[in-house]
Structure 1
């Protein structure tokens, strides 16, 4: 079912459904995200000639293209390659005319990959603030709000640079609610948050910033592009794949195998360990009381939880969710679960997620591993690696957020 969910969001199946009218002038392609290279490959397959451009993706997530140049950079922590790529993209769309068309390919991960800081800021500033936000437990919309107000390309700035050419953006959503302004920090979407909002988020999570960054947030340069800005008047944003589409695909497969299916939604956020506790309670209700659905049953959910890293572990929201779920279920018979990120990367690890079974805790004890201690140390990756229960897919070349499935037999 995890494979089915990922396949439903394959750009090869979706890009051709959202093609724009061909322009009188040039057709240029730019983009960023963990699925952007696959999107570019799909566009080349269905558009034909002429086509040119450049997109940036995460290291290892490249796809074969002949006309669109594929660049690679670091994710989730930005690097100099991402800074150079963002500048290349801005240079590529400069000086265009009304007759030209720019197709923008956006997917999750684009925020870190488009790491061009605003004037007066450095890449090191953005890296340190980004690291602090990722460890703080801040929600993805909060993280992206700060990113936008420190950026030279996010928060509608890319679309503004494309104007007066036509901008046709195709997006794969990896965010709860599928808000285009949050996907990759909305490089082609007008922004309603303010620099004051960004400052409030930094204060809320106790993240100190250098004095020159604080001064930047007090200047007009920190303001993003407003939704009614004339430079956005020729921009269209289209979401071509969503987390819920993938949950629906998995649900249909499960129903075909005779399972009762409960879809909790694709917008679940909050601390991963708390989400695990809640999911365990629902699974126990199904197991003991046949409510809200009878056995055999499947519980599905998506969204993007977070991990406030307080221990010495490596974090990872999918493995933390599963470890919390396993501890709460305490070996409940006939309950199995998988949780994985659909891009194949949980946190900063080249691991999609993991699986649990009724014997997970018993096997851990036999191996001398304390599951509760691992959870307290935010060491889900170490726990499941030791048991051999990781789900490793490699780059999937798409990204529609997390996939969680609990099977109750």
Structure 2
């Protein structure tokens, strides 16, 4: 509904009545924060693993169909899995396989059974581990159990369930590397800003089952790998460090990463010796870069979540566009680009003739946002006098310099709030959400946070910049507006990276 001066003239005869309507209007605007949460929640529902398995796996008598491939079940089936989303995948797959399933071992994150009820009378043993998404003794024990199971099956059918968080839940380092040494290395890489591809390159070099190790242990058993992707572009050799995909990363690549982050001279001799040593060649037939006995299916990714967010925004009356599903790079840089995008849209709202400047901006930063031309045109075709919801997805990184508590999504929301309030935006109210689809952002109980356009009005007794510089976004949001802007939903049972949602609400609309 367009709020025009004539409406005020008809309905209001004095200042108090006008103030009443203005207050109501602002209250309606404040619901954008709730709308963002609802759109995010809808995305989570669409990428629930049970739903994805139902879409892909069907059983008719003794014939199992996985997408376009049929398997005759004349021998027992087994399941192994690891990751934040594999519990739901395993529960649904056990239902599909029924009596054909003989045994399974699935590693799941600590705390998942606080959110999801544990299935009873299951042939699958679930092992909790990797608290705060870090490899630990529980995950190590589960990984050993998976290795023992895979080692002892012959020409049966093995299902491997993989999702984000799988690397931390399959920590079986190559001797003599200890789990503690591996933990310290990965932690230091993350603190110094290594992206997930770089960390997975290292993990594959120092792990028994990563980088194709699990598939080689299973040979000659037929393997069906079902993947819920948490990496941009769905590179199978990097998702959970590619346990069923041949490792093509060279020893030199791993060494270059360690030297890039000034870690080579700090790592223990056990890791140096393993990385320096060339691995023995595989005995498994490899065809077109994949093991011949393995068939891999990506059943879900962030594009599905982004499309669901777009549709939900449209259902709620917003114009909506997916700008990019490949957001990566440093949070500090991404927050500035997002804020500048909001400013350029604000200018276009004030004067539609400035859409040309918005196009120039989008083309200038198309590489950083990895935005396609069709998405640029979709945005430019919108009516800038009406509210809109822009959708981004991916996984930025944070260079940790402080000692605070938080995660990349909270850091991004806080950085965006600071940046967007520097730019003098006048024609629109801006609301922004940054959340991890797994429900857990860093070592916190929040999925992320919401940024609001009147941010500075609530920060008179708190300095957000200090919290940002100390990587302490969680503590900031706990104090800011009594924690109302933290998004806390617990483990979602799924994981397809992060969603960033931006609502631009022209001030002449509701």
Give the shorter-chain TM-score range.
over 0.9
Counterpart of 1:265 in 2: which secondary structure? strand
Cα 1:224/1:396, change in 2 over 3 Å = farther
CA contact (8 A) 1:2 1:403 kept: yes
Counterpart of 1:220 in structure 2 is: 278
What does the per-residue CA deviation read over 1:335-382, in whole Å, with 9 as the maximum and x for residues that have no partner? 1111100001111212100111122222122xx211122111111111
Cα 1:226/1:326, change in 2 over 3 Å = farther
What does the per-residue CA deviation read over 1:275-309, in whole Å, with 9 as the maximum and x for residues that have no partner? 11101111122222144342411111111111101
CA contact (8 A) 1:191 1:225 kept: no
Counterpart of 2:405 in structure 1 is: 314
Unpaired segments of 5 or more residues in structure 2?
1-38, 58-65, 350-354, 356-379, 506-510
**Alpha-carbon RMSD:** 1.9
2:346 maps to 1:287: yes
2:479 maps to 1:386: yes
Normalising to structure 1: TM-score of the pair? 0.95
Cα 1:146/1:12, change in 2 over 3 Å = same
Q: CA deviation at 1:197?
A: 0.8
CA contact (8 A) 2:406 2:475 kept: no
Cα 1:309/1:354, change in 2 over 3 Å = same
2:43 maps to 1:5: yes
Normalising to structure 2: TM-score of the pair? 0.76
Q: Give the structure with the higher percent helix.
A: 2
What does the per-residue CA deviation read over 1:40-90, in whole Å, with 9 as the maximum and x for residues that have no partner? 112123222232211001101245232211111114221111111111001
Q: Which aligned runs of 4 or more in structure 1 are off by greater than 3 angstroms? A: 221-227, 290-293
CA contact (8 A) 1:189 1:227 kept: no
What does the per-residue CA deviation read over 1:14-46, in whole Å, with 9 as the maximum and x for residues that have no partner? 112333424321100001001111111121232
Unpaired segments of 5 or more residues in structure 1?
none
Cα 1:224/1:148, change in 2 over 3 Å = farther
CA contact (8 A) 2:80 2:104 kept: yes
Counterpart of 1:121 in 2: which secondary structure? coil
In structure 1, C-alpha distance between the alignment counterparts of 2:403 and 2:186, rounded to whole Å:
19
In structure 1, C-alpha distance between the alignment counterparts of 2:457 and 2:502, rounded to whole Å:
19
Cα 1:177/1:45, change in 2 over 3 Å = same
1:317-328 counterparts in 2 under 5 A?
317-328=408-419
In structure 2, C-alpha distance between the alignment counterparts of 1:169 and 1:408, rounded to whole Å:
41
Q: CA deviation at 1:142?
A: 0.4
Counterpart of 1:183 in structure 2 is: 239
In structure 2, C-alpha distance between the alignment counterparts of 1:107 and 1:279, rounded to whole Å:
28
Higher mean Cα deviation, 318-327 or 223-232? 223-232
Q: CA deviation at 1:97?
A: 2.3
- Among 56, 79, 94, the alignment partner of 2:107 is 56
What does the per-residue CA deviation read over 1:85-133, in whole Å, with 9 as the maximum and x for residues that have no partner? 11100111123222x1001110000001100001221111101001101
